[in-house]
Amino acid sequence: MPLLLIIALALTGGISTSIAAEHAAPADLLYPVKVNVNESVRSAFAIGDKAQAGWEAEAMNRRLDEAEKLAANGKLNTETRAELESNFDLHSKHLKNEMSALKAKNDIAGAAEVNAKLTTLLKVHANEFAKLAVSQRGETDDLLEMETKVRGESDDALKLEMDSENHNIVKAENEDASSDDSGISAEANGSTTVSARSESDEKESEQKNKVNVNGDANINLGL
């Protein structure tokens, strides 16, 4: 059945079709509704770079969940794996774009939070694929390919995490240096102020002495 026709049926079917599609897997009739309708709606409601990054990570998680369920039922094959990987890669690309946007806005904490969750879920899925590969009899190439892919993605996430930590260290060092410079500047300004006041007091004292000398001289002259 053509994709547009399926989506049209989903839209006319309303909420019940949308709910039913949430349980669909690749090759199921309603799977295009799940991916192209339901998830598009969820993406539209993810407002802001951090929320959008969080959704992209969740979409990646959904694809890996689907792959594990298919594998557990002996239905993960080259065709379904390719479909899942294609969608997974698309969300991974979108996630990296959102993470770059967060960093550009100096929201390092937001990027680190999303990345930490991503790193955790990728590790869990990689381990699950490894367990399935051991427990499955017969062909395990597709499982091993999924494990390799997820571990590669996990390594990328770890690199981003390390970059965020290094950024925070550099930022803290710069702030400390700036604080030290401000203290030195304030101390220098204080010294300058004291010096200026001392010079002013000396001039005032000299003037008073001149007045006193002139006064004494006038008195002695009988003026």
Other beta carbons less than 10 A from residue 153's beta carbon: 21
Give the range of the structural domain holding residue 153, as residue numbers without chain letter. Answer: 3-161
- 57 lies in some domain: yes
Overall number of domains in the chain: 1
- 61 lies in some domain: yes
Q: What's the token pair of residue 204?
A: 């005032």
188: buried, middle or exposed (CB in 10 Å: 19+, 13-18, 0-12)? exposed
**What pLDDT, on the 0 to 100 scale, is given for residue 152?**
87
- 65 lies in some domain: yes
Q: Which helix or strand (DSSP H or E) is residue 54 part of?
A: helix 49-72
Q: Mind listing the pLDDT tens digit for each residue in 58-70?
A: 999 999 999 999 9
Report whether 66 contacts 25 (CB < 8 A).
yes
- CA–CA gap between residue 52 and residue 44 (Å, rounded): 9
pTM of whole model > 0.75? Answer: no
**What pLDDT, on the 0 to 100 scale, is given for residue 20?**
87
| Residues of the chain with confidence (pLDDT) below 70 | 1-14, 137-139, 160-223
- 49 lies in some domain: yes
Report whether 16 contacts 68 (CB < 8 A).
no
* Residue 136 DSSP label: -
**What pLDDT, on the 0 to 100 scale, is given for residue 221?**
33
- 106 lies in some domain: yes
- 174 lies in some domain: no
**What pLDDT, on the 0 to 100 scale, is given for residue 102?**
92
- CA–CA gap between residue 111 and residue 48 (Å, rounded): 12
